[in-house]
Structure formats: structure tokens, C-alpha cells
Amino acid sequence: MELSVRLPDINSYRNLPAEYEDYGRFAVLNSGNLWNGPIASSHPGTTYEGFYWARCKDTLFLSPRGSTMNWPGIMTDDLIRRLIRKLNLHRRYRNFQIIFD
């Protein structure tokens, strides 16, 4: 997991930087539930904290939407594992290391 890269806010694969294979959005909702959406989506109105994700080979990049003061505190192992399951990447990222710069 790479958490030090700032991902762009894009909504089309033609705008996806060449180094990424896939991209989408995810959010922690006011209810505490986790939401994820494809590249052509918007964060729901009930978003507590919104984020972007991108995949490149063996690395999953996660980035906050806008300014998030508590970014390292929000990105817990539990939240990352929940996101990996939602993205159906749990076999690929069974063992992961979090990298903050």
C-alpha cells in the first residue's frame, strides 16, 4: 500500500495516467460503512471522508480527497483490509505493507 502519492480526481480511463492499471473512489460514510465506486462515479452525499485508489502492478495507491488532516490515522489496517475485500483484491494483497512518506 502506497499512501504518499497524491492521486488525481479523474472520471475517465482516457485521463488515467499511464502508470496506473485501474482507478476508483472509496469513502467512509457517516454511518461508518465503506463505499467504493468505479472511475466514472462520484462520492455519495453521505461521505464522511472520501478517497481515491489506483492500482499499478503489485502496488495499491490510496489518496485522500481534498485536505485530510488525520490521513495516517484514518488509514488503519482494518479499513485497508475492508477496502481490499470490497475491490475483490484480497488474494492479491493478502500480505501488505503500508508506506507513508
Exposure on the CB side of residue 80, measured as CA atoms within 13 A: 22
Which residue is associated with the grid cell 489496517?
Answer: 77
Give the lowest-confidence range in 47-51, 64-68, 72-76, 94-98: 94-98
| Residue-averaged pLDDT of the chain | 84
Residue 6: what pLDDT?
86
Instruction: Give the bridge partners for 37, in sequence order.
Output: 25
Residue 90: what pLDDT?
73
Backbone angle region of 44, left / alpha / beta, with phi > 0 → left and psi within -120 to 50 → alpha: beta
Percent of the chain with pLDDT over 70: 86
Residue 53: what pLDDT?
93
In angstroms, rounded to a whole number, what is the distance separating the alpha carbons of residues 79 and 84?
Answer: 9
Q: Examine the pLDDT at 100 and tell me if it is beyond 60.
A: no
Side chain identity at 91, as an amino acid letter? R
